[in-house]
Amino acid sequence: MLIYDDEIEATNIEEAIQSFKNGYLELKKIYPDEPVGWEANIAGTVTYENEEILSIQVNSYTFTGGAHGLSLTRFLNFDKGQGLEIETMELFKNSLEFQSFAESKFREQEKIPTLGSINATGFMFENDEFYLPQNIGLTQEGLLLFYEQYEIASYADGPIILTLPYKELKPFLKLKIES
């Protein structure tokens, strides 16, 4: 989120901050009269934890000039026993079956006809086909599908969020998750 300097391969927070600062200073050399500074705010929150799994929601806002800043949300899911991040599709027994289930729940929430185009109500799914978001996280309420601004709708629509209760997900999840 802070990498703006090709010279630095950031491996820790301090190096990432330096990269962001260097990116700003480089721009300042090119446009010395530009009065606008850069800004970055990043915060993480634990959204789910049990003996095996830890899920962290990372919210960030960066402004590097232009009409508006960029707000992003990322979910990081970890296998606590192995100390490794869980890739999103590793959460599911069969990702295609889960995707089909998620599409039916998405259509229900967004009042999209079952047999109509997924874009019938104004969404912008590429090739008019439903797909899972880049961000899927675990929360106390359920599995959260988080579509960022621009991912399937306009910036003005904001993020599109679908929360699926764990009791409905037992046939799809590899991991044991309690609500």
The number of distinct structural domains making up the chain is 2
- CATH number, domain of 125, equals 3.90.640.20
Are 99 and 164 part of one and the same domain? Answer: yes
| Residue 49 to residue 82: CA distance in whole angstroms | 15
CB atoms within 10 A of CB 45: 10
- Report the C-alpha gap between 161 and 74 in whole angstroms: 13
Among residues 101, 96, 88, the alpha carbon closest in space to that of 168 is found at 101
Sequence-separated (6 or more) residues with CB below 8 Å from residue 63? 38, 39, 40, 69, 70
Chain-centre distance for alpha carbon 151: 10
pLDDT tens digits along 26-59: 888 998 888 788 999 999 999 999 999 999 999 9
Using one digit for the tens of pLDDT, what is the confidence trace for 100-158? 999 999 999 999 999 899 999 999 999 999 999 989 999 999 999 999 988 999 888 98
Flag whether 17 is in a domain.
yes
Domain span at residue 152?
88-169
Query: Rounded CA gap, 118 and 153, in Å?
Result: 12
Query: Where does the pLDDT of residue 22 fall: very low under 50, low under 70, confident under 90, or very high at 90 and above?
Result: confident
Q: What are phi and psi of 174, to 5 degrees?
A: -75, -35
